[in-house]
């Protein structure tokens, strides 16, 4: 990738405020100079995502992700570096530079979007032709109006193996581009490429920006699998997207209805519930929960009533709660799924489903109901076991009023005095807090020992030196005017760990060229590396800022460098050992 100029990157960051941008995806609260919020990249109940206004960067102490505004866009929008820069340039009304940079990956992404859009048109045209009679009959038989079919761009893949590939080829797409979009795959016989989808009703998957990013297809026979989805591509990750979120985001509702399948979502939309979405052939993921958090405050779970659906509901509750969403659970009468329920009620489908929504309980009601069914209340032990497990659930609630309400219900249900139940809840909360603090302390110990430092694997064996190196780098990033002072006293060869030596050279070069040392970190380092770099940069306020402290960092680095290594000691002769011992003794004086 050819480099974008530092002046252009500086202008991008100047015109795009990280706080303003992040606020459109998450809620932020001011804490001193900085802002904090629930991390949009992992599930958490306690805010650990920090935005540092002085240098326009962020770091999450929960998942360890950090970076600048370009990194934020890359993560939140699932874009590569150049696409994120283009996103920010467009947002700021800036033109990309005319320099001839290598944007081959970005061009391939664009071609995949174009191939998917053309494929969606092809599938729709086939659905409306004689070849698609079976598919159209199936959709109409499921109660879908032609206007709904058009709105969702539903289609049909013909019962041929070359139809789509031949069509896309006639439109100028190469086999490599079609394969990258997962629309075709190479045949085992070596006779070109075969269509991935055939003899299936097709459901385009569209992102919130209106791009067709993938497809789901339902087979017209008893062949397995019944549903086939696009595999992950450059523009699609099934664990990070939701079906019909492009419609739901415009629903003006602070709720999302989460369903299991495409047809459930489409039927709900046709009945007027445009805030319905579905996962894409996988169980709900933390990434999808975080995605929903951007568009709503409450998720209503609408899974099937069978055993698999109930297990999925219980699992989803935990995932959604962890990202701070309120959860409700729908119990559809007679164990029907939303599609069946609405079709059965015909013209009254909207009113019937609205009534189900209005009578839905929250996730705690659902979990206690399921728990109650596991125990025999005719025995003292059965009642006691239920109470113990129910108290554990209530302890998970953050709101004291909610805990009080459910303690009252539990008391009424079991004939056990409410104060007794509240005492057990208080004990449970204390136990949970102790476990949480123990886990946090264990993580702090792990961080101090650097056992999990994947970026700098030499850190764990050189704790004192690596810590001093990191402190010096943080000092240098925040005080670039001290570069000459540091260079006069410390060379790259004095560093014991390769990664920190690399950073010392990198930041020195940026500063010598009168450039912000962090200006192009997003382009020059991996995700783990840049997260570590921005953690270092933002650790500066917590360390001493004096020149005496800087001298101490330099002194420790040089002292640690002068020590003989274990291998030197093991492999030395008697005379060499005496010399090394003397050297070691001198270094400690």
What integer pLDDT is reported at residue 1 of this predicted model? 46
Q: What residues does each domain of the chain span?
A: 6-91, 105-236, 245-357, 374-434, 460-587
Q: Residue 335 corresponds to which tokens in the numbers above?
A: 């164990």
The confidence band for 485, taking pLDDT boundaries of 50, 70 and 90, is very high
**Chain-centre distance for alpha carbon 334:** 36
The confidence band for 589, taking pLDDT boundaries of 50, 70 and 90, is very low
Strand 200-206 to strand 298-302: parallel, antiparallel, or no bridges (unpaired)?
unpaired
Residue 307's contacts (CB-CB under 8 Å, 6 or more residues apart) are: none
| Separation CA 386–CA 361 (nearest Å) | 20
Residue 89's contacts (CB-CB under 8 Å, 6 or more residues apart) are: 12, 95, 96
Q: What are phi and psi of 63, to 5 degrees?
A: -110, -5
Which residues are bridge partners to 328 per DSSP?
300, 362
| Separation CA 267–CA 27 (nearest Å) | 32
What integer pLDDT is reported at residue 582 of this predicted model? 58
Check whether 448 has a pLDDT greater than 90: no
Mean per-residue pLDDT, 440-457? 68
What integer pLDDT is reported at residue 446 of this predicted model? 59
| Separation CA 27–CA 39 (nearest Å) | 10
Mean per-residue pLDDT, 334-351? 86
Check whether 520 has a pLDDT greater than 80: yes
What b-and-e string marks burial along 332-351, b requiring 16 or more CB atoms within 10 Å of the CB? beeebbbbbbbbebeeebee
The arrangement of secondary structure in 6-91, i.e. its CATH architecture, is Alpha-Beta Complex (3.90)
The answer for 576, left when phi > 0, alpha when psi is -120 to 50, beta otherwise, is: alpha
What integer pLDDT is reported at residue 399 of this predicted model? 84
Same fold, 105-236 and 460-587: no
| Separation CA 205–CA 231 (nearest Å) | 12
Nearest residue to 583 (alpha-carbon basis) of 570, 564, 559, 561: 564
What integer pLDDT is reported at residue 103 of this predicted model? 65
Contact indicator for 3, 523 with CB cutoff of 8 Å: yes
Check whether 421 has a pLDDT greater than 90: yes
Mean per-residue pLDDT, 493-499? 95
Radius of gyration in angstroms for the set of CA atoms belonging to the chain, rounded to a whole number: 30
**pLDDT tens-digit map of 157-167:** 999 999 999 99
Mean per-residue pLDDT, 230-243? 93
Check whether 588 has a pLDDT greater than 50: no
Which position has the token pair 């934020």? Answer: 72
What integer pLDDT is reported at residue 221 of this predicted model? 85
Contact indicator for 320, 241 with CB cutoff of 8 Å: no
Compute the mean pLDDT over every residue in the chain, rounded to the nearest whole number.
88
CATH code for residues 105-236: 3.90.980.10
Q: At what angle do helices 104-127 and 133-141 cross, to 10 degrees?
A: 80
Identify which has the larger pLDDT, 64 or 195.
195
Identify which has the larger pLDDT, 439 or 264.
264
Q: Among the ranges 142-156, 369-383, 566-580, which has the highest mean pLDDT value? A: 142-156
Share of residues in the chain with pLDDT > 90 (%): 59
Q: Which CATH number fits domain 460-587: 1.10.3470, 1.10.860, 1.10.275, 1.20.1260?
A: 1.10.860
Nearest residue to 236 (alpha-carbon basis) of 113, 382, 74, 97: 113
What integer pLDDT is reported at residue 451 of this predicted model? 63
What integer pLDDT is reported at residue 287 of this predicted model? 87
Check whether 583 has a pLDDT greater than 60: no
Mean per-residue pLDDT, 451-459? 83
| Separation CA 443–CA 452 (nearest Å) | 10
**pLDDT tens-digit map of 83-118:** 899 999 999 999 888 655 556 777 898 999 999 999
Check whether 197 has a pLDDT greater than 80: yes
| Separation CA 243–CA 338 (nearest Å) | 16
Alpha helices in 132-182 (DSSP H): 133-141, 146-152, 163-170, 175-180
Mean per-residue pLDDT, 276-292? 90
Q: Is CATH 3.30.1180.20 the classification given to domain 245-357? A: no
What integer pLDDT is reported at residue 366 of this predicted model? 86
Mean per-residue pLDDT, 329-348? 85
Q: Residue 260 corresponds to which tokens in the numbers above?
A: 């299991």
Q: What is the DSSP letter of 243?
A: B
Mean per-residue pLDDT, 189-205? 91
Instruction: Mean pLDDT check: name the lowest of 93-102, 373-382, 464-473.
Output: 93-102
Check whether 522 has a pLDDT greater than 50: yes
| Separation CA 67–CA 56 (nearest Å) | 9
**pLDDT tens-digit map of 402-419:** 899 999 999 998 899 999
| Separation CA 281–CA 261 (nearest Å) | 8
């Amino acid at each position: 990738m050819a480099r974008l100029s530092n002046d252009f990157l500086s202008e991008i960051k100047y015109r795009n405020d990280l706080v303003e941008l992040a606020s459109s995806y998450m809620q932020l609260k001011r804490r001193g100079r900085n802002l904090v919020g629930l991390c949009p990249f992992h599930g958490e109940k306690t805010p650990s995502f920090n935005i540092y206004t002085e240098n326009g960067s962020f770091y999450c102490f929960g998942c360890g992700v950090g970076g600048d505004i370009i990194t934020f866009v890359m993560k939140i929008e699932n874009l590569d570096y150049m696409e994120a820069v283009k996103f920010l340039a467009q947002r700021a009304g800036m033109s990309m530079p005319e320099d001839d940079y290598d944007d081959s990956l970005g061009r391939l992404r664009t071609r995949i979007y174009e191939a998917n859009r053309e494929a969606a048109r092809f599938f729709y045209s086939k659905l409306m032709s004689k070849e698609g009679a079976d598919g159209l009959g199936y959709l109409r038989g499921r109660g879908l109006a032609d206007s709904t079919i058009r709105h969702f761009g539903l289609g049909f893949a013909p019962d041929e193996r070359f139809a789509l590939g031949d069509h896309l080829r006639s439109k100028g797409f190469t086999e490599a581009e079609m394969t990258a979009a997962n629309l075709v795959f190479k045949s085992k016989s070596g006779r070109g490429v075969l269509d991935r989808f055939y003899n299936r009703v097709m459901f385009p998957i569209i992102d919130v920006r209106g791009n067709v990013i993938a497809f789901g297809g339902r087979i017209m026979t008893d062949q397995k699998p019944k549903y086939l989805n696009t595999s992950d591509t450059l523009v699609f990750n099934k664990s990070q997207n939701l079906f019909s979120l492009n419609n739901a985001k415009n629903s003006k509702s602070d709720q999302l209805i989460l369903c299991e399948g495409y047809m459930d979502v489409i039927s709900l939309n046709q009945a007027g519930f445009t805030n319905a979405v579905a996962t894409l052939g996988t169980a709900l993921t933390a990434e999808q929960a975080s995605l929903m958090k951007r568009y709503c405050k409450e998720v209503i779970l609408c899974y099937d009533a069978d055993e698999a659906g109930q297990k999925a509901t219980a699992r989803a509750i935990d995932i959604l709660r962890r990202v701070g969403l309120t959860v409700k659970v729908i119990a559809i009468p007679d164990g029907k799924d939303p599609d069946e329920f609405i079709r059965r009620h015909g013209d009254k489908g909207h009113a019937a489903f609205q009534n189900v929504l209005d009578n839905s309980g929250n996730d705690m009601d659902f979990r206690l109901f399921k728990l109650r069914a596991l125990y025999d209340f005719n025995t003292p032990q059965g009642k006691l076991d239920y109470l113990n497990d129910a108290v554990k659930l209530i302890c998970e609630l953050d709101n004291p009023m909610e805990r009080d309400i459910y303690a009252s219900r539990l008391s009424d249900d079991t004939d056990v005095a409410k104060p007794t139940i509240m005492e057990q809840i208080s004990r449970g909360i204390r136990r949970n807090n102790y476990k949480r603090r123990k886990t946090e302390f264990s993580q702090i110990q792990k961080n101090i020992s650097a056992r999990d430092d994947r970026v700098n694997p030499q850190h764990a064996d050189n704790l004192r030196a690596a810590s001093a190196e990191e402190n010096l780098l943080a000092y240098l990033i925040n005080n670039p005017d001290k570069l000459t002072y540091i260079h006069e006293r410390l060379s790259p060869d004095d560093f014991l760990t390769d990664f920190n030596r690399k950073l010392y050279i990198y930041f020195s070069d940026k500063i010598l060229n009168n450039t912000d040392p962090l200006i192009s970190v997003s382009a020059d380092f991996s995700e783990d590396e840049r997260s570590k770099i921005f953690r270092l940069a933002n650790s500066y306020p917590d360390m001493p800022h004096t020149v005496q402290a800087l001298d101490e960092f330099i002194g420790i680095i040089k002292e640690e460098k002068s020590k003989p290594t274990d291998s030197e000691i093991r492999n030395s002769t008697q005379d060499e050992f005496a010399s090394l011992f003397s050297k070691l003794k001198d270094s400690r004086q």
